């Protein structure tokens, strides 16, 4: 566990109209939203990717700190989980326990990765919460990603989280509902497409996102089949000029406008219970573009939720 992050930012005054996120965070023990960091790139190392994502959570927090507060909300920072002695599996289990704990208290977790190995920790958390608190209800994973992350390997990596999740579902005789948005043909082998088909996964190619209405219909159909939604966002789904600081930059990628239209649609469903944002790699970022994008997505997630709530 790392030292607690110290929240500070630009100070314009204490009046409500001047307040920024650093001035309102950690004011509630039972907040609407809870931040968790997963300081890991062990899965990326195992997957032969570019290291650096372990440093991202606190840098994303730093970018979030000075965002303005337009409507009242409560957000508490529950700290970071770190990988010790390269024991990724233990750290994923610890993250899962923390996610379950927050969800059991009615708190919506926002997890800042870390490599995409973060996702298996996140999924363990929502899986155990739903099993204990909402038996017989289903979970849908919606992954914004250029990659399926369904690799077969002898150990958990940043390329295996959703196959790990599928195996967890199978072990408990639960259905596996998985939708990936932004798949790049050049970034996935035939074996990965075959594995996705074998698992009855739904996917939208990056080239198909030009037809936004069609993608929204696919989303709606998927959302209607599940009770709870976990959104995971691999920042390599965005064009590399938008998100250069990732393990595997996208040649094509998607735009922020396309992403936002889909993201808002999902939040409007009222079924989103958990968000994580992964693969931000500050070592390869340019002008903090990727870190700022990650912070913006976390902020918008909160804004879209509170805008839906009755005043």
Residue numbers in the known binding site for Mn(2+) are 116, 145, 147, 149, 234, 236
- 127's enclosing H/E stretch is helix 118-133
Which residues are annotated binding-site positions?
A: 116, 145, 147, 149, 234, 236
Q: Residue length, the chain?
A: 311
CA dist list (Å): 226 to 27, 137, 237, 301: 33, 8, 24, 20
Its sign, for the CA torsion 215, 218, 224, 226, is: negative
List CB contacts of 206: < 8 A, sequence separation 6 or more: 146, 182, 183, 184, 237, 250, 252, 253, 254
Q: How far is 106 from 118, CA to CA, in rounded Å? A: 21
Long-range contacts made by residues 45-49, C-beta under 8 angstroms, separation at least 24?
A: 46/88, 46/153, 46/155, 46/156, 46/157, 46/158, 47/115, 47/151, 47/153, 47/157, 47/158, 47/159, 49/115, 49/158, 49/247, 49/248
- Measure the CA angle with vertex 116, ends 114 and 121; round to 5°: 85
Q: How far is 219 from 216, CA to CA, in rounded Å? A: 5
């Amino acid at each position: 566990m790392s030292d607690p992050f110290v929240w500070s930012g630009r100070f314009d005054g204490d009046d409500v109209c001047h307040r920024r996120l650093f001035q309102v965070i950690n004011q509630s023990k039972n907040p609407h939203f809870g931040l968790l960091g997963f300081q890991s790139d062990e899965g990326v190392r195992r997957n032969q990717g570019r290291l650096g994502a372990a440093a991202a959570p606190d840098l994303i927090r730093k970018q979030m700190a000075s965002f303005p507060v337009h409507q009242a909300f409560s957000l508490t920072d529950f700290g970071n989980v770190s990988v010790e002695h390269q024991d990724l599996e233990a750290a994923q289990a610890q993250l899962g326990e923390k996610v379950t704990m927050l969800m059991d208290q009615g708190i919506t977790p926002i997890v800042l990765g870390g490599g995409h190995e973060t996702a298996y920790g996140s999924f363990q958390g929502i899986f155990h919460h739903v099993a204990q608190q909402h038996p017989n209800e289903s979970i849908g994973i919606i992954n914004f990603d250029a990659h399926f992350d369904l690799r077969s390997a002898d150990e958990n990596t940043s390329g295996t989280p959703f196959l790990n999740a599928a195996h967890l579902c199978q072990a408990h005789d639960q259905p596996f509902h998985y939708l990936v948005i932004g798949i790049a043909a050049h970034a996935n082998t035939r074996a990965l497409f075959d594995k996705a088909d074998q698992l009855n996964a739904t996917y939208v190619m990056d080239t198909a996102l030009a037809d936004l209405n069609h993608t929204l219909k696919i989303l709606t159909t998927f959302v209607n089949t599940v009770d709870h939604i976990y959104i995971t966002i691999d920042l390599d789904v965005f064009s590399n000029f938008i998100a250069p600081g990732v393990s595997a930059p996208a040649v094509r990628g998607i735009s922020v406008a396309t992403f936002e239209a889909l993201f808002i649609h999902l939040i409007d469903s009222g079924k989103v219970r958990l968000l994580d944002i992964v693969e931000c790699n500050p070592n390869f970022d340019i002008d903090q573009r990727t870190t700022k994008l990650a912070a913006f997505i976390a902020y918008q997630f909160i804004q879209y939720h509170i805008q839906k709530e009755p005043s």
